[in-house]
Structure 1
């Protein structure tokens, strides 16, 4: 059985870790929960353009392999209204590593450390989601 003091120490340690890691790490942990099913899917990409841009970012930064992702990205890009991905704000954000959720919340996928693992999971998640969009 965990004593009240042990519980307090654990909570304090977690708070200290999150506080020292900064807001970006807290966002990463929230996003990881969302990707694992702990949230209502709010970090799923909110648009074709954003999904295509995120996949582009993930490919460029070696979070996804070209074999499995390039074709999906190309098919998504062909469906972007107007046929000009560079003019689509969702695509532009995504290609810079900004995942925009269906609820409008944005998650910056750039960075190192723990965030790289979250970014890798986000890239896999968006790729799976994108396959359902095409």
Structure 2
């Protein structure tokens, strides 16, 4: 009797493992963060997602290379204004970029001043839901991008 229940339990475990494996193989793969057209708001904004961007991205940071110059200048303005970056290098880069023709009057600049980073393909990342450490890191990346645009 003990032998047949052991065999039955082992058989059940084998069938269960096969079923879980088969189910896992039929699940679609998760899209990358950059391929999701809209997350929680208009224009692809990620600001309304529960858990904030820190929970969504973990330690991964979005690329700032696709952001237009006006948006980079606007986000840099947001970063300087909120003390996420400081110093003469930040204010010099901000003055130089925002002084370019059409930059400060662009909608991308205005959006950036509100802490909205355009990450490309129509997607926008709100910095308001981030932890301060992530905001500071992202602002540092934006400052480096601003400096390289000069």
Q: TM above 0.5, one fold?
A: yes
If the TM-score is normalised by the length of the shorter chain, which range does it land in? 0.5 to 0.7
- Give the equivalent residue in structure 2 for 1:100: 118
Distance across 2 between alignment mates of 1:78 and 1:34: 28
Other structure's SS at 1:92 match = helix
Greater C-alpha Rg: 2
Structure 1 residues 79-90: aligned runs within 5 Å: 79=100, 81-82=101-102, 85=104, 87-90=105-108
RMSD, aligned CA: 2.3
Which blocks of at least 5 consecutive residues in structure 1 are unaligned?
1-21, 36-40
Distance across 1 between alignment mates of 2:149 and 2:58: 21
CA contact (8 A) 1:49 1:88 kept: yes
Which blocks of at least 5 consecutive residues in structure 2 are unaligned?
1-47
| Alignment: residue pair count | 102
CA contact (8 A) 1:45 1:100 kept: yes
Is the aligned partner of 1:60 residue 2:81? Answer: yes
Report which of the two has the higher share of helix. Answer: 1
Aligned partner of 2:96 among 54, 75, 100: 75
